[in-house]
Amino acid sequence: MEGLRELERVQRIIELMESHGILNPNNNINPDSNRFLANFTHFLVQTCSELDMEIKCQLISEYMTKISTLFLEEALQCIGEEGNEHIGNAVPVQCDDEQNVDPSQDNFLDTAAIGLDSMLRANSTLEDFCRSYFMFHKMDVHQPQLIFKYLPILSFTESYIYQLDTLNEKLLQSPAYGVQLGEIESYVGCQTEGRRAIRSLKMLEADPFKPLLILLEHQGLLTERIREELWSGVEYWSLERKLCCHPLSGSESSVGDVMRAIHLKSFDYRVLNLLLYQLRGEKVNELHMEFLSISEFLVELSDDLFDYEDDVLENNFNILRMFVRIYGASRAPTMLAKRITETEEKYENMLKSLDPELAMNYQKRCEEATKEGGKISGPSLGTWNIPTIIEDEDSYRCKILNVKPTTVVQADVDKCYSS
């Protein structure tokens, strides 16, 4: 399979070179020569530290004439036959010092690959998914064989998503992003950062899930619904960039965009759940999916309140940040509490429609998650605590070093169905 993909890649590059007149398809050139030129082109487009395409072309023009047959023969002796065989296999080149795969690399578009850091970050989500969602599939989370049976696909998918999410977070934190997207390259003193921002933005706005979709399709797991949920992730990241960039661009945030974003934010849980149905060969239970979507919404609200200060510092999407921007510091808590109350009513109604034993087990899981999240006082499912509002985020970022405020204000909502 890998050899076939390699041939497909080589053929695509050869066709591209022919379309640009670099190669003439009518000439009877040695096929090995075409393959060499295709592999050489593939090598040139690989990410190598901070070198851009223009610098690479300049280096080729300057030094290629100095590389002779004699030099190459000497280089071959230097690296040995084993090293030469490795190079001939056309393994993607990674010149960066970073150990993790960079999703903005060109080769990432053709290969579903994940880094160790992404796997580590995805671990807590996977644990929560197994403990909270397995019961909806009548699976005992305390049976390791069940977890490990489905873990490879679930872990790979979640890690892939986290890898892209990390890329989006870095983009939001980049000093070049948000100045004016069309002027990033000319951002004074930040040309390198600007190039990275543009590369990341193109990656996220293109087809970032294509390699994962191909992998899932080859495994017989891809459905149109899974495809749509993954694309909702692309939409979420786009909305996050739009909303978090607004203070810099002078635009106003839309309540519709904010609510759409918070609903999309849990797309990874829905993808994992749909994958689990596919892995088990079971039909999707729409009642369970609807109930869990409401629960996921409450989870995201709770997480945003818990992470509010950090999200301000890191310029991440946070519903409280957005409500403060839209309604002002005085009205934001009230408007948010109203949304929470409305959603809790839906949650309670949906909970009654579940099998009683399943509803009881899920409630117990909510209690466990709440306690594990540090909320050990108040009702068994915790209390809604709205943090002290940060009106001037710029000043707050300037003042904060390693100390974060912990003062909270009690909202007029008394239940939490999330971790």
Return the higher-pLDDT residue of 379 and 17: 17
For residue 108, the model assigns a pLDDT of 46
Domain count, the chain: 3
Retrieve residue 128's tokens.
């929560």
- 147 and 248 in a common domain: yes
Which of 218, 252, 278 terminates a domain? The answer is 278
205, part of any domain:
yes
> Of 33-42, 133-142, 156-165, 369-378, which range is least confident?
369-378
- 416 and 297 in a common domain: yes
- 211 and 120 in a common domain: yes
- 192 and 308 in a common domain: no
Return the higher-pLDDT residue of 396 and 283: 283
Average pLDDT over residues 37-63: 77
- 409 and 308 in a common domain: yes
For residue 200, the model assigns a pLDDT of 59
pTM of the model: 0.67
Give yes or no for a contact between 330 and 339, defined as CB atoms under 8 angstroms apart. no
For residue 54, the model assigns a pLDDT of 77
Average pLDDT over residues 365-385: 67
> Of 189-198, 246-255, 351-360, which range is least confident?
189-198
For residue 202, the model assigns a pLDDT of 67
Q: What is the pLDDT of residues 322-346, one digit of tens each?
A: 999 999 999 999 999 999 999 999 9
For residue 333, the model assigns a pLDDT of 94
Q: What is the pLDDT of residues 312-323, one digit of tens each?
A: 988 889 999 999
Which of 252, 278, 304 terminates a domain? The answer is 278
- Reference 244, options 320, 321, 163; nearest CA is 321
Neighbours of 195 (CB within 10 A): 16
For residue 47, the model assigns a pLDDT of 74
Return the higher-pLDDT residue of 352 and 245: 352
Retrieve residue 32's tokens.
């090995």
- 320 and 225 in a common domain: no
390, part of any domain:
yes
DSSP string, 89-148: TTPPP--SS-SSPPTTSGGGGTS----HHHHHHHHHHHHHHHHHHGGGGT--TT-HHHHH
- Reference 247, options 194, 336, 300, 172; nearest CA is 172
- 289 and 235 in a common domain: no
- Burial code of 205-232, b = ≥16 C-beta within 10 A, e = fewer? eeebbebbbebbeeeebbeeebbebbeb
Q: What is the pLDDT of residues 220-246, one digit of tens each?
A: 999 999 999 999 999 999 999 889 875
108, part of any domain:
yes
* Those residues with Cβ within 8 angstroms of residue 48's Cβ, 6 or more apart along the chain or in another chain: 56, 93, 95, 96
| Residue 293 scores a pLDDT above 50 | yes
Domain coverage including residue 66:
2-88
- 381 and 241 in a common domain: no
- 252 and 106 in a common domain: yes
Q: What is the 3-class SS of 200-266, one letter each residue?
A: HHHHHHCCCCHHHHHHHHHCCCCCHHHHHHHHHHHHHHHHHHHHHHHHHHCCCCCHHHHHHHHHHCC
Q: What is the pLDDT of residues 172-220, one digit of tens each?
A: 766 545 444 444 444 444 455 555 555 656 667 678 898 899 999 999 9
- 169 and 36 in a common domain: no
51, part of any domain:
yes
Return the higher-pLDDT residue of 142 and 185: 142
In the chain, % of residues over pLDDT 70: 70
- 327 and 251 in a common domain: no
Q: What is the pLDDT of residues 74-131, one digit of tens each?
A: 676 665 544 444 444 433 333 433 444 454 444 444 567 888 888 999 999 999 999 9
For residue 48, the model assigns a pLDDT of 73
In the chain, % of residues over pLDDT 90: 41
For residue 87, the model assigns a pLDDT of 41
For residue 11, the model assigns a pLDDT of 75
146-151, long-range: CB within 8 Å, 24+ apart, which pairs? 150/276, 150/279, 150/280, 151/126
- 151 and 73 in a common domain: no
The residue type found at 259 is M
Return the higher-pLDDT residue of 77 and 280: 280
- Kindly indicate the confidence band of residue 394, based on its pLDDT and cuts at 50, 70 and 90: confident
95, part of any domain:
no
Sequence length of the chain is 419
For residue 290, the model assigns a pLDDT of 97
For residue 270, the model assigns a pLDDT of 98
Which of 254, 278, 302 terminates a domain? The answer is 278
76, part of any domain:
yes
